A and B are shown apart, each in its own frame.
Chain A
Amino acid sequence: MSAHDLVVDGGAPVRADWLALARRSWRRRVGGQSMLLAFLIVVSAPIVLPYFWMMVIAFTARTGGVGSDVLWTACAVIAPAVLIYSIVHMTVAAPRLRLIAGAILLVVVGGLLAALIGGRLHLDNFRFLWRADFVEEVRSKATSGAQFPSVWNAFFNSLLLAVAQTLIILTVSSLAGYYISRFAFRGRSAFLQGMLVLHAFPAMTLIIPIFMMLYWIGLLDTIAGVMLVLAAIELPFYVFVMKGFFDGVPWDIEMSAMTDGATRRQAFYMVVLPQVRFGLIAVAVFAFIRAWEEYIFVRTFLIENKNWVMSLYLFWVSDDVMGVDYGIVAAVAVFYVLPSFLLYIFCQKYLTQMTIGGIKG
């Protein structure tokens, strides 16, 4: 009797068919995983499809109509390709073979797409980038309302808002985060608890009093006003994020800097700050994306069209020409969303390092 025999309930030993068992377990695992993946694909399709539809509209629509056949043709080419690749990925273990299969599929898909819908693609919808009067052109001149500002005006307003707000947050949150991470001061725990409450407190409820306050101090309808408000209401979150990063820096390096004659501030500036550069990058990227996408606060606090940021520009373009021309609206949306997506894709590894507080577990 070998050690590999199974003994069931103390009865006679049963010879186990190890190969069959292994096959069964493999089948089960692959079956279960495919079901999970199928479910994930089905629930994720409603997210991917609208983004894809937006791209299709932006690059193929012309005034008066959108050809939905382009969307479904592209889906009919891409969906089977993804399916085939996932089957290959699951059955083939060698990374080189996977890579080759992926490359072949990519070439086939690219070729098919170019042949089937390549002729329909055009960049006409992006003419808003160099023509400020496209709204009058799309709608007849008589019906159009106020003159739209150039898109670059809104773009640079957005950039100014996002960059300045990010700089404020970086400076203030790293100073405060360092202080509460390293210094003891009277009321420290009260301060921390107060910040936590502010962090959880929904600032959106304060939009009416903030509006009044900006009006009273004369910052209503200015980029500077919105910038300060956005920086302040997000600040507790970033202070805690920075505190987390500072907590992770061993204090010996500060001590040795100070033993070498640096003052406390020099130690902070020259020794500790470089240690948390990934934290600074994460905070900067996150703050930038948040300010870039802001809508409610800018909608409420910015009124004149010379102060429009990208979100307001897109909103008013869609409000004005949506019924007539989908293409331009989608093109503006693609132009607007691009910086956020690029930052998100390229800085993902920094963003995932942010943690806050830690939840009791």
Chain B
Amino acid sequence: MPDHARAQARREWANFGLFLGPALLLLFVFFVAPIVIDLVLAFTDMGRTLAVGKFTFENFERMFTRDTRLLGALGVTFVFVLLTLGIFNVTFALMLALMTTAVPPRLGAFFRAVWLLPRMSPSVVYALLWLWVVDPNERGLLNQIVINVFDMPAIDLRNNHPLLLIILANGFIGASLGMLIFTSAIRSIPEHLFHAARVDGAGAFAIVRHITLPALRWPISYMTIHQSLSLLVSFEYILLITGGGPFYDTTVFSLYAYRRAFETGEYAYGAALSLILVVIGVVAALALWRLMDMKQLLQPPRIEVH
């Protein structure tokens, strides 16, 4: 019955457009198209006037041969990502997950809520809190402790140890995501394994070493890639707390691209710089995608009546 078949096909298309159309449209216009635009922009000479004069390789030539600040920015990025990730976003997140699951459940939930507080507060507020903590005069929270408790002279983290400051500020926020993921992974370990280990005489450390950690292998590798990617591209707190300064001391690569575009108006050069991040982003996204549970995600849908 061709008529029936045609009506069926029409209904299928109508459903497709109705249910998936809005999402496809939004994603295409504001997500996929910008990737293409970035690719094109990187090869232009767009400046303050926002007009394209000519197509050129100049941006990449500048990036690889002339830009002396770029090397510094890469160094800062490397130190920042490595230390924040190594100290806070994975290691400390793991410690928090282990400890909050070892204390009574209510208390554990309380401490997890405390660590989620920075993530739930607006970034401007969180940055302000840090500015009040490291205020260089004697009113800064840190200096109140340093002066009155340790009897040392006031310290100025923001100007003298800016890199340490942005690592701490990002770390205290970054640890919470890993903490949540690891906590739910620990919870999903069958209880009887712990009992069996105890009966066999395992102590707390042996249990962590031989039961908990092996179960966390996938979540840990997932979080490591996910967090290094997000640390690599996000500069929100750095911009708010140090502004990338003093001078360029805390300007990580992504902030460098942002500052080139929106501070000095070199939009094309900024686009060329972010193109590198886009490429890294795609590669890391593909790597993450391997770690997701694809079978569960791609299992066939259950009803196919239109």
A327 CB → nearest B CB, Å: 12
* Residue B65 is within 8 A (CB to CB) of chain A in the complex: no
**Assembly CA distance A159 to B108 (angstroms):** 34
Residues on the A chain within 8 Å of B29, using CB: 213, 228, 232
* Residue A287 is within 8 A (CB to CB) of chain B in the complex: no
Interface string of B5-47 (1 = CB under 8 A from A): 0000000100110111011001101111111011001000010
> What is the interface of chain B mostly: helix, strand, loop, or mixed?
helix
* Residue B199 is within 8 A (CB to CB) of chain A in the complex: no
B279-306 with Cβ < 8 A to chain A? 281-282, 284-286, 288-289, 291-293, 296-298, 300-306
Q: Are B222 and A359 in contact (CB under 8 A)?
A: yes
Q: Are B218 and A49 in contact (CB under 8 A)?
A: no
- Choose among B37, B118, B125 the residue that contacts A314 (Cβ–Cβ < 8 A): B125
* Residue B129 is within 8 A (CB to CB) of chain A in the complex: yes
Of the 9-residue stretches B54-62, B76-84, B109-117, B155-163, which lies at the interface with chain A?
A: B109-117
Closest to B277 in A: A205
Interface string of A159-194 (1 = CB under 8 A from B): 000000000100111011011111111001101110
- Choose among A205, A229, A293 the residue that contacts B121 (Cβ–Cβ < 8 A): A293
* Residue A358 is within 8 A (CB to CB) of chain B in the complex: yes
Q: Are B132 and A264 in contact (CB under 8 A)?
A: no
Please tell me the number of chain B residues within 8 Å of chain A, measured between CB atoms. 101
Residues on the A chain within 8 Å of B300, using CB: 184
Q: Interface size for chain A: under 10, 10 to 19, 20 to 34, or 35 or more residues? A: 35 or more
* Residue B68 is within 8 A (CB to CB) of chain A in the complex: no
With A197-B282, A204-B254 as known contacts, state yes or no: A213 contacts B117, CB within 8 Å: no
- Choose among A49, A209, A228, A289 the residue that contacts B35 (Cβ–Cβ < 8 A): A209
* Residue A201 is within 8 A (CB to CB) of chain B in the complex: yes
* Residue A152 is within 8 A (CB to CB) of chain B in the complex: no
* Residue A295 is within 8 A (CB to CB) of chain B in the complex: yes
| Chain B positions near chain A (C-beta within 8 angstroms) | 12, 15-16, 18-20, 22-23, 26-27, 29-35, 37-38, 41, 46, 50, 96, 99-100, 102-104, 107, 111, 113-118, 120-125, 128-133, 139, 141, 144, 172, 181, 185, 188, 204, 215, 218-219, 222, 226, 229-230, 232-236, 239-240, 254, 257-258, 261-262, 267, 270-271, 274, 277-278, 281-282, 284-286, 288-289, 291-293, 296-298, 300-306
